[in-house]
Amino acid sequence: MLKHLSLVLAVLLAMPTVAQSADATAYGAAPYDLLFRDGTLDEIPRDSAVVYHRAVTNSLMPAAATRDSGDIALRFPPGEEAMAEITLTQGDKSRGLGRFPASVGNPMIMFFYETVIRDMAESAGGSPFYIRNRVKDALVQPAEVVAGEAEYQGQMVPTRTVSLYPFREDPNRDQMKGFGDLELQVVMSEAVPGWYLSLIATAPGTEAPVYRSAITFDGLEDAQ
């Protein structure tokens, strides 16, 4: 996972810069700069861990959902404060998910998109390269940025939400076992350390979601 996510970082950083401010909220702007905002880890104390929880449901591959659910912590290795590393913890077991330059922003956004791409390829079949390219295309297409509010630490804070539908117009959507309706929704707030309040992917299905991956911000903890 570490090596592959590092490759994804290189690919995303090579994508063309879009003419948009990080504070853009108007419909018609590409959301890339907002979603992959620079500097989102700059103000976080290097002796802290940014903690998230990932909950996955997958009607096509239930065992994969169990494999991938758990607590995720982003830490800065001692003596390497310019780097960020993320780990997944399930009970008394932990595994590394990647190491990244902290200066480029919060790598949780890359982890979110790449794990959904992998999960879709595993569950519905098809080429992960094709899926990844459709997601990349969606990131540089016009999208609505919705201003709103959400509860954080007992109070309401301003948020911005971006929802992408990378397969809505895809000619192969009927072969995607429900993933043709995949929605990738990211909720962001200046008030939340690390920028991301939630990152949720949903393939809705007819009666219950075929697939859902929800990464939600839990808080800051002392790094251990």
pLDDT at position 224 is: 64
- Confidence at residue 29, expressed as pLDDT on a 0 to 100 scale: 66
Helix (H, G, I), strand (E, B) or coil at 53: strand
Three-state secondary-structure class, residue 6:
helix
Tell whether the torsion through CA atoms of 110, 111, 116 and 119 is positive or negative.
positive
Kind plus residue range of the DSSP H or E element containing 160? strand 155-164
Give the pLDDT of residue 126: 87
How much is the pLDDT for 30? Answer: 80
SS3 3: helix
Q: d(Cα 182, Cα 134) in Å, to the nearest integer?
A: 12
Q: Residue 104: what pLDDT?
A: 85
Instruction: Per residue of the chain (224 residues), give pLDDT as tens.
Output: 444 444 444 444 444 433 333 344 444 468 899 999 999 999 999 999 999 999 999 999 999 999 999 999 999 998 887 899 999 999 999 999 889 998 889 999 999 999 999 999 999 998 999 999 999 999 999 999 999 999 998 999 999 999 999 999 999 999 999 999 999 999 999 999 999 999 999 999 888 899 999 999 999 998 76
- Helices 2-13, 108-124: axis angle to 10 degrees equals 110
Report the distance separating Cα 143 and Cα 165, nearest Å.
10
Global pTM? Answer: 0.87
Angstrom distance (rounded) from CA 20 to CA 200 = 24
Residue 52: its pLDDT value, please?
98
